[in-house]
Amino acid sequence: MGHREFKDQLYAQFARIGKALASPQRLELVDLLAQGERSVEELAREVGLSTANASQHLHVLHGARLVESRKAGLYVYYRLADPAIFALWQALRTVGERQLAEIDRLVGIYLHNRQALEPISRDALLARLTAGDTIVLDVRPALEYRQGHIAGARSIPVDELAARLGELDVQREVVAYCRGPYCVFSDEAVALLRAHGLRAFRYAEGFPEWADAGLPLATEESASATR
């Protein structure tokens, strides 16, 4: 094999990754799978696709070895193939935010009130957890909490929060978090909590970023006391 042929074949393999990610739906699927394993049907509902269409997109991601699957009865479940896949998605987001003004414009239009919700950094959240005087609230769907969450957090999905406000100590500060920087569940939760007189803030990132940083995690089995 000559030098040129080697380079052509090598970069063609790397291009498989780019081609697999060259779809808004597949990028959103990767983002969702960063929360944990999901069935095709669950992913289809989240992304607003038919089951058949979601399955096709997942097949493309699987062909590029970005996701892995397992079958349980009639259902097929997918997960990210390696933690590096989430790191790749983070890098793509960072480049997009820095280089594409349209991303900044879209975020500014749709998430224009975010700074008023006083985002809390990763270090600030860790300090609050260590001090133990803050309620850390996971407002993602309960399934995602069960699969993995910030250690010490309690689960109240955002669509249940209004009905479960009585479970919270109004004298304690609350920090809500969700799926990541473009997820609005924590924004909605903080706005609701503040409207009811609680001191509430949102974590600026999300569960996957916390996990990727190697910070303390828990699963349903190890967190029954916080539920």
Residues identified as active-site: 178
Q: What is the C-alpha separation between 10 and 113, in angstroms, rounded?
A: 46
DSSP of 82-126: -HHHHHHHHHHHHHHHHH-HHHHHHHHHHTTTGGGG-EEPHHHHH
Q: What is the C-alpha separation between 50 and 44, in angstroms, rounded?
A: 6
Largest CA distance in the chain: 71
Q: What is the C-alpha separation between 195 and 199, in angstroms, rounded?
A: 10
Q: How many residues does the chain have?
A: 227
SS3 155: strand
DSSP code for 223: -
Q: What is the C-alpha separation between 185 and 168, in angstroms, rounded?
A: 18
Residue 27, CA distances (Å) to 18, 65, 118, 153 in order? 11, 14, 28, 27
